[in-house]
Chains A and B, each alone.
Chain A
């Protein structure tokens, strides 16, 4: 399959904006979304009247038209939503880029905002409420009554099998958490600013759903993040250096479920992520050696191991060694999650990871990797997912 979407190298992210990341925003999710979009417009040097497209997640509760009314965004000629929770983050940018390259819009805002700590929390499990008999709710019939109630528990089922198949131990997971927190410690926007952890801290943290410990799980956050996509030509005239969209892709594989793809031959691979990887490499003509830093979705640490292998940064089963001893920290061969990740900076369902990738391309990251040319961003793991490669404008 050699395929090259029309948006590759012809579109760019031209603005990013966010609220603070906190445990209690003290304001509505709509307000957070509106603030993030306003901040992104200011960053780009754009007016509300320049925006003609909006994209968000199906999981987002903030209607695009509500934000549009609040900011004076008028005509919209492209608006869409992408499914599957955190799997959607990069896909919102890909959809926006498709709209621009395909001629449906010129300036598209992608956003995500929630009070996922002070409001509805994803990890609290379900209660004895009768659910409407829809197909999505029916899927929970195989997990909720059995007690497999939270994303952490769904991820843990993968992790156990992966550890069995590869010999990885909880320590490998710990190195990922340590790297995230190492980067967060120097990032003033991060919740865990100035709070690094050691491998021993990770090993001492209590089990949430074995084999996952507390420090294997990303935090819960109130906040909002927006990014703006436009043509590369237009982006060159705006306030910031463009983050060129070198490639973007979505991926869902045979036997795909939402967090519970337990019925394929093997649970130690993440083939939907492999599908995204192949598309990104083929579109861009790049390979692992061309990536100077990566933002790898870390809602739960084990899936970072899978992602590293699916993208070919190392062979299958070798990620447990790849992540050890600082190799994925600033100074190592592949700094990962230089903002601290979902685990260290804040959990905005992956959107803040895209913003960090943009900063690394611009050269303005707090933990700036030297000589960045290309940054890889991956989305939610265990669900139909998405990826981006952003590059410096040459």
Chain B
């Protein structure tokens, strides 16, 4: 419905709010009565061993008229099944929905205005009475509220609340459900495009928590330098960085740039867990630098079976993503010496 519109924000909001109170399609009658078989499958999947869901005597002993359905199965009784859902989704995607509901119209309107992403935010259910075997439910849906535009961490958008009223065969209310979603404009992604041939951006490594004490190191790495903190009073080097010198207690410090040459003091090869952003098996070493300090860093350019304590390595500053550069170490060239 993207014909000539008054697209001012107020007018747009007025169009959204015109949906409030509109029913969403005809009432849905549950394809099945509340039945023991579906209850059994549900409680097994949930791991809920409460006998009132399966055993008549236990249910009566607990004050129920008979076996009851778990309350949270509420919506399951009126869901239309996988095939019907898939067909409806396909139809909506093709724009060929035969009989658009108010919901469909609302979402076309939001899509057209750029609110193309969706996330569910709330689901609240109120139960008036327990459901028993044989109950046949009817669900009536209405768009209860459409919010003004909100700024959220995901992006700008509108919250849409749909209310479902559930009644039994006698027309009495048994439950109410409110389901809220956020339709939003996704924030633009600023990362580099992934390399050709990949389907999705590569997950990133964990970020360092940059305090004033350690930020210098990672800034230096971005500039291609492996920095070591140095006490400005007594000249002793230290890593990891500290606010004060453990030797002379001075709070003044500067940095030196390491030659980047060292030896492997210890190493691990991690296999599990396999965390997104890393390639496994993953070799990581404690490297003892020529300057005498040690540093934990990934090893690169070497078969994991060939790593040995004492081997000579040299640093390579690697940009693992657009924000983070880390020192890694590879086997040293012939000019370097090793031995420990």
Residue of B nearest to A132 (CB): B209
A138 with B266: CB separation less than 8 A: no
B294 in the interface, Cβ–Cβ < 8 Å? Answer: yes
Q: Count of A-B contacts with CB under 8 A?
A: 139
B271 in the interface, Cβ–Cβ < 8 Å? Answer: yes
B residues within 8 A CB of A148? 268, 270, 284, 296
Q: Which of A123, A128, A142, A146 has the most CB of B within 10 A?
A: A146
Find residues 263-294 in chain A having any chain B CB closer than 8 Å to their own CB: 263, 267
A residues within 8 A CB of B304? 210
A169 in the interface, Cβ–Cβ < 8 Å? Answer: no
Shortest beta-carbon distance from A122 to chain B in Å = 11
Given A141-B214, A145-B205, A146-B326, verify A262-B268 contact (CB < 8 Å).
Answer: no
A267 with B266: CB separation less than 8 A: yes
B284 with A146: CB separation less than 8 A: yes
Residue of A nearest to B327 (CB): A146
- Interface stretch of the complex, out of B18-26, B148-156, B274-282: B274-282
- Across the interface, A127 reaches (CB within 8 A) one of B206, B296, B297, namely B206
Find residues 186-229 in chain B having any chain A CB closer than 8 Å to their own CB: 203-211, 213-214, 217-218
How far apart sit A124 and B294, CA to CA, in the bound complex (Å)?
A: 26
Given A164-B309, A262-B296, A263-B293, verify A138-B270 contact (CB < 8 Å).
Answer: no
Find residues 107-129 in chain A having any chain B CB closer than 8 Å to their own CB: 123-129
Find residues 217-275 in chain B having any chain A CB closer than 8 Å to their own CB: 217-218, 239-240, 265-273, 275
Shortest beta-carbon distance from A316 to chain B in Å = 18
A138 with B209: CB separation less than 8 A: yes
* Interface residues on chain B, number (Cβ under 8 Å): 44
* Interface residues on chain A, number (Cβ under 8 Å): 46
Shortest beta-carbon distance from A308 to chain B in Å = 21
B211 with A142: CB separation less than 8 A: no
Given A128-B205, A138-B214, verify A157-B266 contact (CB < 8 Å).
Answer: yes
Find residues 136-187 in chain A having any chain B CB closer than 8 Å to their own CB: 137-150, 153, 156-158, 160-161, 164
B298 in the interface, Cβ–Cβ < 8 Å? Answer: yes
A1 in the interface, Cβ–Cβ < 8 Å? Answer: no
Shortest beta-carbon distance from B9 to chain A in Å = 32
B residues within 8 A CB of A263? 239-240, 293-294
B73 in the interface, Cβ–Cβ < 8 Å? Answer: no
Which residues on B are within 8 Å of A, measured CB to CB?
A: 47, 203-211, 213-214, 217-218, 239-240, 265-273, 275-278, 281-282, 284, 286, 293-298, 304, 309, 320, 324, 326
Question: What are the nearest 9 A-B pairs in CB distance?
Answer: A141-B208, A137-B209, A131-B209, A161-B266, A144-B206, A156-B268, A210-B269, A125-B275, A209-B270
